[in-house]
Amino acid sequence: MKSYRVLITGGTGLLGKTLLETAPAGWEVFATYYRNRPPLEWSARFYPLDVRDEHSISSLFDALRPEVVIHTASIGSVDEAERNPFPVHQVNVGGTKSIAGACGRRGAFLVHLSTNAVFDGKNPPYAEESPLVAANRYGALKIEAEDWVRRSGAPVLIIRPILMYGWPLPGGRDNVVVRWLTCLEKGETVEVTEAIFSMPLWAADCAEVIWRALEGKKTGTYHVAGADRISLATFAKITARVFSCAERLVVPVPNSRFSVLAPRPMDTSFVTTKMERELGVRPLGVVAGLTRMQRTRSLVA
């Protein structure tokens, strides 16, 4: 099997961290960070990068000459995209355009991380070829970014994950499971909507999809999701159970209970047949995924 020289943007995020931990043997893997510095033991493989700076991108590409770029760097806050669309556009669209353009000019293979938010949740489950219609500005920006990626001239793989969870690096962006546990383990209640359904994805399963797709030289779009379609309230209850917290602390509430700037799609569940058949990845259900997360807690710095 051919080994590759890989650059991961956003390497201190949850997926970037997981990709670094699971990279195929023999591959040269480097990563970038913006604000959150990497652990000391990883520092030799990391480079600072602001994806809004085309000159810095060009210089880094010249120095590293990556054959593959996995672009995970983005602003992930749905409400921030609604509140401050211009700076989010600069990163999620402008930064993606610059990374994709650099890949196109240098012939590097581009893996672009998109999102389930490119769908409005009105007609689930969604296959890769389903029409893209966003429910909020964040999703609309991600659709625009996908369009730039496809026009870049680079060979492209688009990955659309849904509700990833796992242990982030210290100081890194958290996820719903980490936020819930912060409260539950202090004996505090958490209110969770029972109206939104998802297919929670153990981050290592998403990383496995990406590495297998690269090994198989796959292009196109792949939907990546966990095995279970459940409400967020049910997901929170299972989280409490697996981590030996009091399940009664999880309070299911209607979606109207929350004050949010951006509307949330109610159900963006995926059809994952393509991922399973072409890549041979059978994603974990939430109990299995959360159990792995619980067992690896001691490994978190």
Please, which pLDDT band fits residue 1 given cuts at 50, 70 and 90?
Answer: low
3-state secondary structure of 101: helix
Please, which pLDDT band fits residue 77 given cuts at 50, 70 and 90?
Answer: very high
Largest CA distance in the chain: 55
Residues 83-141: tens digit of each pLDDT: 999 999 999 999 999 999 999 999 999 999 999 999 999 999 999 999 999 999 999 99
156: left (phi over 0), alpha (psi -120 to 50) or beta: beta
CA distances from 132 to 78, 95, 159 (A): 17, 21, 14
Domain at 66, CATH number: 3.40.50.720
Residue 205 is assigned to a structural domain of this protein: yes
244: left (phi over 0), alpha (psi -120 to 50) or beta: left
Residue 13 is assigned to a structural domain of this protein: yes
pLDDT at 300 over 70: no
pLDDT at 265 over 80: yes
Residue 296 is assigned to a structural domain of this protein: no
3-state secondary structure of 126: strand
3-state secondary structure of 190: strand
pLDDT at 22 over 90: yes
**pTM of the entire predicted model:** 0.96
Residues 38-62: tens digit of each pLDDT: 999 999 999 999 999 999 999 999 9
Task: Tell me which residue range forms the domain holding 58.
Answer: 5-175+200-229+268-286
Q: How far apart are CA 282 and CA 62, in angstroms?
A: 38
Please, which pLDDT band fits residue 255 given cuts at 50, 70 and 90?
Answer: confident
CB proximity list for 282: less than 8 A, separation 6 or greater: 227, 276
Q: What percent of the chain has pLDDT over 90?
A: 92
Of residues 301 and 76, the one with the higher pLDDT is 76
Residue 262 is assigned to a structural domain of this protein: no
DSSP conformation letters of 249-300:
GEEEE-GGGS--SS---SB--B--HHHHHHH---PPPHHHHHHHHHHTGGG-
Q: Which residue has the tokens 């992930």?
A: 76
Residue 72 is assigned to a structural domain of this protein: yes
CB proximity list for 205: less than 8 A, separation 6 or greater: 224, 226, 281, 283, 284, 289
pLDDT at residue 126, rounded to an integer: 98
Residue 189 is assigned to a structural domain of this protein: no
Bridge partners, 252 (sequence order): 192
Q: How many domains does the chain divide into?
A: 1
Q: What is the mean pLDDT of residues 188-193?
A: 96
pLDDT at 301 over 60: no
Overall size of the chain counted in residues: 301
DSSP letter (8 states) at residue 227:
S
Please, which pLDDT band fits residue 147 given cuts at 50, 70 and 90?
Answer: very high
Q: What is the mean pLDDT of residues 70-77?
A: 96
Q: How far is CA 104 from the centre of its chain?
A: 23
Radius of gyration of the chain (CA): 19
pLDDT at 207 over 70: yes
DSSP letter (8 states) at residue 117:
G
Residue 41 is assigned to a structural domain of this protein: yes
